[in-house]
Amino acid sequence: MVHLYLGTYKDRENKKQIIVVAVKDGERVRYNTGKKTTEALWNKEAEMIRKTHPNFQFEKAYLEKVKSRATEFVSRCENGEMRFDGANFQMYMNETLNREKRKIETLDDFYTLFLEYEKTKLNERGEKVKNGTVKKYIVNNKKFMEFEATQHKKFKIEEINREVLEDFQKFLTYTKDHKAGQVHKDIVLLKSVLNFAERKGFRINPDYKTCKPKAPKVENVALHYDELEQLRNLDLSDNPTLEAYQIMFLYGCYTGARPSDFVKFTENNITTLPDGGKAITYHAEKTGKKATIPISNEFHEMLKKRNYTFPKINLNLLNRNIKKICAMAGLDRRIEIQYIKGGERVTETGKLYDFVVGKTAKRTFVTILHNGKNGDGKGGMSLVEIANYTGNNYDTIRRYLVNTPEYSQMKIKNIFDGRKQSE
């Protein structure tokens, strides 16, 4: 099945792009025909320009040709000759309409093809890739275009080697003022685009693969148990908006869910365990794995107080609001953070609330479960047990554990004190 329709955005002349969409087994792929028209000159029912269009005969012939080629693509996919995805659709249409030579030359040209593929491909669970993933690539493409402007050239795909990527790293570090973690992510994203180009048969310079920036080790923060209580006891009933962010962040602290998961919790996530107890059960958005977290007494009291409801919050505003809330709760413990910037280790000091973000909820959950309420390891769970409960693997959980010098000192003291008592 093939359709023609107008895009969303208007240009300065109030014209919209004419898009062709091919549909197979419920999946949709799109192609920009390169033609534009106004809504007044478009017949939505007929999926064609109106006869009043000044170039009606010429434009109609071209659009019919586009529709015919798109229909051929669907037919070939149904016959098993081609895979039905955005990248193949782009290539087939460019080739049959004799546009591919003009379209795919620079990395910027290729990025258009790659983004079409990302919008239509399926992940390992058979679901479409999230919009957030596509946006990361769009931002990455814009950064590389800014880098190209500083180099006064447009890079062809085969020109991108290790030296170019290292120069891009320097641009991100010194011009964009990115920390090492963000620089690492941007290089990895760009390399994934080049890997895709290689798989699709484009000529690339394999030297780019030798550029392997190391992800920096960052000392993250987690709330101590008494700080978690401070946050829970903060009364924000006079500010329902901030109270909603406080409640959902606390729910994350008690379940170990990522922000992208706990902001979506509803009463449907509350389940009953075989022993009659209650639990929060959800499938992690990132991994698709199921997690079942028993509801503690403290967590149950919070749910009961709110009649087992879950307030709605904006994930994009979580980090900003939770810093404000933690400051109001008096979470001002002195914190020292170290990270790599420009190849050098940078130390940044501040108060706890300055460094709290959405993911701090999961770090708090893992750290308190492992280290115990008093932070001395007594009564704590092993990381393997925590991984099994949360549906994560061991390495992932280990990265969320925040061990402080105080914890290590208490462990040493407890071991030696235990030895003395046994003697």
36: part of which helix (H) or strand (E)? strand 27-37
pLDDT tens per residue across span 114-139: 776 666 554 444 455 566 777 888 89
Does 297 lie in the same domain as 235? yes
Residue after which a domain boundary falls, among 216, 239, 264 = 216
CA of 316: how far to CAs of 177, 212, 245, 260, 352, in Å? 22, 30, 11, 10, 21
Does 276 lie in the same domain as 164? no
Does 172 lie in the same domain as 262? no
SS3 annotation, 233-285 = HCCCCCCHHHHHHHHHHHHHHHHCCCHHHHCCCCHHHEEECCCCCEEEEEECC
Please tell me the pTM assigned to this model: 0.55
Q: How far apart (Å, rounded) are the C-alpha atoms in residues 233 and 211?
A: 49
Residue after which a domain boundary falls, among 216, 247, 278 = 216
pLDDT tens per residue across span 302-360: 888 888 888 999 888 898 999 999 999 999 999 887 766 555 677 778 899 988 989 89
Residue 420 above 90 pLDDT?
no
Residue after which a domain boundary falls, among 183, 199, 216 = 216
Q: How far apart (Å, rounded) are the C-alpha atoms in residues 204 and 207?
A: 9
Residue 164 above 80 pLDDT?
yes
Domain with 24, as residue range(s), is 1-102
CA dihedral 78, 79, 80, 82 (to 10 degrees): -70
Degrees to nearest 5, angle at CA 296 with 291 and 298:
135
Identify any residues that bridge with 23 across adjacent strands, giving them in sequence order.
28
- The predicted model gives 90-109 an average pLDDT of 68
Does 269 lie in the same domain as 254? yes
